Amino acid sequence: MQENFQDAEIRVAQFRLLNAPLRVREQRLKGFHENEPDMHAGAVLPCCFFPPHANFILTQIVLISIYCRSNKVTNMKIITVITRFLLGFIFLVFGLNGFLHFIPSSPPSGTAGQFVGALFVSHYLVPIFLLQIISAVLLLVNRYVPLALTLLAPIIVNILLIHILMLPSGLPLALVVTVLWIVVFLSVRSAFAGLFQERVAA
């Protein structure tokens, strides 16, 4: 409600700015006719200064720019919501799959197989899957999004390293997840501003 009220105030101010030149012209014409009623107004304020059609065109241009800007902001919000939902959905599915195994897959071979086998045998992946589920739920309900991104960041780095170094077949999905994380991060980057301070006062 407060944001809508502020937007309404901004739009009223913008319309006042658009009408300001026309009001100035009318006031100058009014004062001129009171002082010199027999002279034509064009001698003091030419029609080319702010003709009616120019005011109309200027108004239309400004209104179109405002409309495009508002649409751009709306589109960015929609993209952010969709990206956040996709990121949460992907990690929710793969987090639950770590416990329920409803996605059929064959174990990898070679070094990747040995690495993943060691993770499963040691139950190292259990807290990883739990963190994925928790972060996914936070993203889907749009609560504590910076915390969810913080929990997912090291997991995504680990996924990227595994697929780059040992299992390149899964690299495309890892890159998609990385891009989704970056987009969501940019939408809430103000929450991480303190992390980039060079020095912190004691």
Chain segment 27-66, per-residue pLDDT in tens: 544 544 444 444 444 443 343 444 455 566 667 666 666 7
Q: Tell whether 201 is covered by a domain.
A: no
Per-residue burial over 143-160, b if 16 or more Cβ lie within 10 Å, else e, is: ebbeebbebbeebbeebe
% pLDDT > 70, the chain: 65
Both 114 and 27 in one domain: the answer is no
- Residues near 99 by Cβ (< 8 Å), separated by ≥ 6? 129
Both 87 and 182 in one domain: the answer is yes
> What is the 3-state composition of the chain as percent helix, strand, coil, each rounded to the nearest 5?
80, 0, 20
Distance CA 140, CA 95 (A): 14
Structure-token pair, residue 21 = 């030149």
Chain segment 139-184, per-residue pLDDT in tens: 999 999 999 999 999 999 999 999 999 999 889 999 999 999 999 9
Structure-token pair, residue 175 = 């890159």
Both 139 and 86 in one domain: the answer is yes
State the total domains in the chain.
2
Chain segment 91-138, per-residue pLDDT in tens: 999 999 999 999 988 888 888 899 989 998 999 999 999 999 999 999
Structural domain containing residue 61: 2-76
Q: CA of 43: how far to CAs of 20, 46, 51, 169, in Å?
A: 22, 6, 14, 78
